[in-house]
Structure 1
């Protein structure tokens, strides 16, 4: 049944379901596999944060489940020339506290991005191209960029629009590329834990939030868009897979993220529904390449072997990606040879490196490490599907070619903090493309780290290749799609031929839910509460 028909049938469905099930109400309970690290939607560019924030805050444009771009707080947008974009803002929109949404809120939100303190993965790459913002009226904004930015609407889709008034801004906020005026006293990211500060235009608002505990959302009754099926949402972080499945089977939650692959049959046999979707998230290994002072490497006389291209290639050839997909991922993944699943723009159809331990040993010997060395892989143990198990399998594969490998597996919050402090010589992580093309992982993971230029913002391994950088910079300002695609393909090929990082696999995302609940399975892996529906009979 369509969502529209579900809306019409909602009242009847509740009357039907409540007496029979005894547990149904308009409260939805979700078992999260990863807890958001902040309520502040501009603090950490991380999927658990984004999917949580999308219930409360909105952006000018948005990606829907199939990753196509649609207007959101902007009714329309168009490029006037290569460096000028005009956005018409949606009229009649209010924040959840009743204040009207205007151009002032957009300017404030963009101005705040570079001012967020201690951001582990900032949003500056999406705003650094803006030279000026001109206000035509309360509902028209003209953006001038410092170079052609063909994906400017995509970039604006990453910036959550905050309430300038709730954030303490002055009556007039003016954009300046060297500093904005009228910003007032900026709220710290922790201030957004207070529902009075976390004010957005989205379908829900925060009722309560406590790190490590339940997150409770209630319906924003003044929401301008389609009313969600559930007027109250309880998000329960249950990072351990076993307890998460148990909570679903016991009826404590209505839907869970990332049920373990080995439990899917048991879940379906219990009458639950499993949904899946191939994601645009690549799981990869990053190899630290900033010099010889890299921690947790032994047996190399103080050298960093990862600086040698032959060693990086050897490690890639030591990984049996197909075995990992079959035995650890249970077939719920695809072996990766690129930064995005082909045929996404910027991909070439490159195949994964073939498993070849014999050649891997030969390359190590050529590089001067015939007896191998000792190293540690850092990984989260609760962020990606079977992340710890994948890292353990890779450690065994590395050890088989003489590279004695340890695994340091910690919770996601600890992992990202330590990764950003560059405590791991090798780390396992994932990246989902926000642009739908390879420009996203290339800018974030491959480009040389340059905070001022907002390049390499998640390149904690500090891989750097000037030729690749030049291609990325040219690609992101090339408006012609065919030319941009060719540049992205060349940049990706150079980086992968250099084994700058090692793609492992693309995740297939799964969800499990009670009968009577349906959802839109998204390629970006996000669980958006407003897209979870009562599944009423035809």
Structure 2
């Protein structure tokens, strides 16, 4: 049996044989070799066995996704598709590109590949991505390069569900190798092809000779190196061991100021941070207790003192980098006296014991933020026990609905509806356990409304509901500091991930 540290090495040429090795070997240097740090776990070469933004980004560049969001132009654009349309209220038709070849020289993507990939997302025992298709009834091949997605009801936000998430893998290679295709033949149609997958360490990709228009000065080889510790990321950048160090916490930015050959860029983020209160667990089934917690947390103080001002406070479910932004009038503000009164009204005049969970090193200053929140909650009567589990365990427990209170983030798009329905709509996931017929009604209307102005009005109603009922306290979006060597030209966007074709070497 292979150890967890065993890794996959696949040769790039057609017909190459994959071999599983037992010790890490550095990628061969290339004329334009880029190493990027990632704070996410590198767990499995199965492209569907995760729900993590950094791996979604990697796999869409290897296998290719249906579409992605171009922040520079403010629109959705195809990766494997060239066009799409809503031909009926519940039927979306997609046309695949015909100018692509598979990395091993095989045929371009087909509707059969898309249907296969959808079925795998829905049936693979290891899949963690079924939520992507929560609104999809079926995927049908129309002809070799055309497929339909038929939704269970009208879903105006369908592209948001798919964008940057749904990667398409080869039906032919899966029929030949079964699930072992992920290791033996991980060939896709994206701009970069998989060279290695080192579990818990790194992913190595190299440019595909079959991707049209890939810039000459884009990376030849890219290494996504797992580095959970911020200090390690900064040191590696200063030593030129990595060329892009992502997510530099505010307290370490000074180490990079004035450093030779290094520059920093600050970019806003669509990913929102929140403090979840799972209403399936006491005392969070009582809205008064949830409101007490919201009133107890001084978000402005945390932003100012811990995050050095590098965050944008959220007052409601829509942040300033998303469509339909507007602060919710019902958003609860810092008021410790009111928090104490609400706790007493809820039957806890002498306080209440609670457990708070956070990851460590996954998000900017996550442990420090959770410690500050715990202290603030303690001042109004919550007796807090803080837990800091391993990130993989943390996320598994969240998905299973086992954590009563936790601090985390949720990647989002310009259209935030998909993210909100995953977290708060009845029965979609177990993460927060919240259920409201009124909120479900807002979401139903949002899905059926295709006019942007009317969509915004409905989204504001949903945001007001969430701000008042507080199944989660929306905290902020980070202003993310990304750092890079001066010979690398990369402009971060609000998505935060590195799309390699956009990177240039000077």
TM-score, scaled relative to structure 2: 0.88
CA distance in 1, matches of 2:354, 2:332: 21
Preserved CA contact (<8 Å) 2:316 2:466: no
* Deviation beyond 4 Å, 4+ runs, structure 1: none
Per the TM alignment, residue 440 of structure 1 is displaced from its structure 2 partner at its CA by 1.9
1:489 is matched with which residue?
A: 460
> Which segment is superposed worse, 341-350 or 201-210?
341-350
Per the TM alignment, residue 488 of structure 1 is displaced from its structure 2 partner at its CA by 2.1
Aligned length in residues: 472
CA distance in 2, matches of 1:533, 1:340: 33
Preserved CA contact (<8 Å) 1:247 1:253: yes
1:230 is matched with which residue?
A: 219
Preserved CA contact (<8 Å) 1:82 1:479: no
Question: CA 1:473–1:40 in 2, change beyond 3 Å: closer, same or farther?
Answer: farther
Residue by residue over 1:352-384, the C-alpha shift from the partner in whole angstroms, topping out at 9 and shown as x without a partner, is 532111111011111111111111111110211
CA distance in 2, matches of 1:330, 1:498: 30
2:267 is matched with which residue?
A: 277
2:80 is matched with which residue?
A: 73
Please say if 1:513 is aligned against 2:501.
no
> Which segment is superposed worse, 498-507 or 83-92?
83-92
2:368 to 375, 386, 389: 389
Question: CA 1:263–1:440 in 2, change beyond 3 Å: closer, same or farther?
Answer: same
Per the TM alignment, residue 186 of structure 1 is displaced from its structure 2 partner at its CA by 5.1
1:29 is matched with which residue?
A: 35
Preserved CA contact (<8 Å) 2:421 2:443: yes
Question: CA 1:245–1:132 in 2, change beyond 3 Å: closer, same or farther?
Answer: closer
CA distance in 2, matches of 1:34, 1:198: 21
1:205 to 170, 193, 202: 193
CA distance in 1, matches of 2:434, 2:305: 31
CA distance in 2, matches of 1:440, 1:84: 18
Residue by residue over 1:306-333, the C-alpha shift from the partner in whole angstroms, topping out at 9 and shown as x without a partner, is 1111110010000000011111111111
Q: Map 1:294-443 to 2 at 5 A.
A: 294=281, 304-342=282-320, 344-350=322-328, 353-434=332-413, 436-443=414-421
1:461 to 432, 440, 447: 432
2:209 is matched with which residue?
A: 221
CA distance in 2, matches of 1:26, 1:76: 33
2:157 is matched with which residue?
A: 151
Per the TM alignment, residue 416 of structure 1 is displaced from its structure 2 partner at its CA by 0.7
1:177 is matched with which residue?
A: none
Question: CA 1:199–1:127 in 2, change beyond 3 Å: closer, same or farther?
Answer: farther
Indicate the SS of the match to 2:154: coil
CA distance in 1, matches of 2:41, 2:501: 18
CA distance in 1, matches of 2:333, 2:309: 18
1:299 is matched with which residue?
A: none
Q: Map 1:71-110 to 2 at 5 A.
A: 71-100=78-107, 101-110=109-118
Question: CA 1:71–1:207 in 2, change beyond 3 Å: closer, same or farther?
Answer: closer
Name structure 2 gaps, 5 residues minimum: 1-28
Q: Map 1:498-537 to 2 at 5 A.
A: 498-534=469-505, 536=506
CA distance in 1, matches of 2:228, 2:47: 21
Preserved CA contact (<8 Å) 1:245 1:259: yes
Q: CA RMSD in A?
A: 2.2
Question: CA 1:132–1:374 in 2, change beyond 3 Å: closer, same or farther?
Answer: closer
TM-score, scaled relative to structure 1: 0.83
CA distance in 2, matches of 1:437, 1:115: 28
Name structure 1 gaps, 5 residues minimum: 1-22, 170-184, 295-303, 450-454
CA distance in 2, matches of 1:284, 1:56: 31
